[in-house]
Structure 1
Amino acid sequence: MCEEHRTPTVHERPGAQRTAPSRSCNPADARLAVERAVTERCRTTHTPCDPVALGDALLVVSELMTNAILHGGGVTDFRVDVVDADVSVSVCDRSDRLPVARNAADLRRRQRVGGHGWPIVCRLARDVHVAELPAGGKCITAVVPFS
């Protein structure tokens, strides 16, 4: 389970909330952490939360977590930061390989199963950043507006 710890950092803007797991987590736990962080932010700022935008953020975190598990050697870190009207989700894994979009069809023009996660993330997120980690692996951060 992703246990939540809100810890402001020097690099955060005023009013930011950060949630990070104390141990590894799965996609369902990550979705719950994002939902809690966004809901809490909306409640404390008396800002209405768009359920469609929240759904977009939940789908993005699901895809990033699943891709890290299936293609990245497992999740090494997960963070969710809520700043203003954005939710920033970061998922780190063990792989140095950058994510790529695959063709939807194979050489015989048959539809492939899977391969839709990265295009979904890129379509729903306003900003996506992939950073190499000093000890190896990468961290993908996607920013999704939630209002």
Structure 2
Amino acid sequence: MVLLAEYLSINSVDLSEYTRKAEVAVEVEEKDVTTYKSLGWKEVVGGLASGTLACEFLQDTAATKLDSIMWPLLRQVVPFEVRADQAAVGPSNPAYKGNILINGWSPLTGSVGDEATVSQDFPTSGAVTRATT
């Protein structure tokens, strides 16, 4: 599978035209429940789940463009959706959805001659779901 047309929406705004990378990662805490009856083997169960939406954008500070969309969202919990393709959601193109906290924004990064990019990781707030319809 090669990602050619990934879809990213934050706060119900399609940001695909600015997006170079969108990665959703979820994990579950490992809780140690080992007892003497475990006979020397560690036993674990799942605890709290959490996730991250890691993004890389090509920056655009023009009016109504990326920076003007993201800057006002600081400190807010907003919805997101990521799909491998911009086509409709389906069994071969699931949508990963949830809410993220906009806990930071780096409006100006890069070196001389580089494209202006923004790399930001947003923590999820609440459940991340996988939808196929």
Instruction: Say yes or no: TM over 0.5.
Output: no
Normalising to structure 2: TM-score of the pair? Answer: 0.39
Normalising to structure 1: TM-score of the pair? Answer: 0.36
In our comparison, the structure showing a higher alpha carbon Rg is 2
Bigger RCO (CA 8 Å, 6+ sep)? 2
Higher strand share: 2
